[in-house]
Structure 1
Amino acid sequence: MPALELKTNVKLEDAKPFIQEFSKFSAELLGKPLAYIATSYTYNEHLAWEGTFEPAFLLSVASLDNITPETTEVYSKKLFEFLKEKLALPGNRGYIVFTDPGRSNIGYQSTTFESIFGKK
């Protein structure tokens, strides 16, 4: 399941190629099949950081069974690098929030991941 939601004040003329690349990158980074990756990009011209509208972002990463203090350190480094390279987003103007909502809290195909894969 990973679900990644990026909100930024950096506008892309055509976001689809970025989203596809971000999806593939995220699947590899998180070690999950691309078939389960959901990503979104939202342009928000009103996103401010330090009271200014210079490039900034908020990224939410929800993923099952692989969010630990050790993995988030690695994920954070790689995601910040990716966002800097692809969108010129500086590391000091964004947050990444990692969550593992638990298998019983994610619905998929009319059931939950706990029903599909069992309890962890």
Structure 2
Amino acid sequence: MPAIEIRTNVSVADPKAFFSAETLDKPEAYVGVHLVQEQTMTFGGSFDPAFLLSISSLDNLPPENTEKFSKAFAAFIQEKLGVPHDRGYILFNDPGRPNIGFSSTTFATIFGKQ
């Protein structure tokens, strides 16, 4: 259930090919991505290329994973957007199974049934 939101002040050439679920080790069928591009954005007091990346995911964000994910996403953003890794923040959040709704229920109920 990863939900990924990236905000950036640069343009993405092909938004449909921008993200992949591989980095988070989750099936792509369950990944939601929201890309907000060409926004007015400052980082460190400058309007140079920048990003803010928010990742919410259930059950796979312990510190050893967030370190690995941070490195992978920073490299991805630098490669795809040309934005240096020190021009943005990556926010990780595991909201907990009861706090994510899907298919008219929550993941707490879905996982409780399995």
Whether TM exceeds 0.5 here: the answer is yes
1:54 maps to 48
Query: 2: distance between equivalents of 1:16 and 1:34?
Result: 13
Identity among equivalent positions (%) equals: 54
Matches within 5 A, 1:92-107: 92-107=86-101
2:12 maps to 12
User: Post-superposition shift, 1:31?
Assistant: 1.4
User: Post-superposition shift, 1:16?
Assistant: 2.2
User: Post-superposition shift, 1:44?
Assistant: 4.4
Query: 2: distance between equivalents of 1:81 and 1:107?
Result: 31
After superposing the two structures, state which structure 1 stretch, 40-49 or 70-79, moved more.
40-49
Residues matched between the structures, number: 113
Query: 1: distance between equivalents of 2:12 and 2:27?
Result: 26
User: Post-superposition shift, 1:118?
Assistant: 2.2
Find out whether 1:88 has 2:90 as its counterpart.
no
User: Post-superposition shift, 1:13?
Assistant: 4.6
* SS of residue matched to 1:76: helix
* SS of residue matched to 1:80: helix
Give RMSD over aligned pairs.
1.4
Unmatched 5+ stretches in structure 2: none
TM-score normalised per structure 1: 0.88
TM-score normalised per structure 2: 0.93
Query: 2: distance between equivalents of 1:10 and 1:61?
Result: 19
Query: 1: distance between equivalents of 2:24 and 2:72?
Result: 10
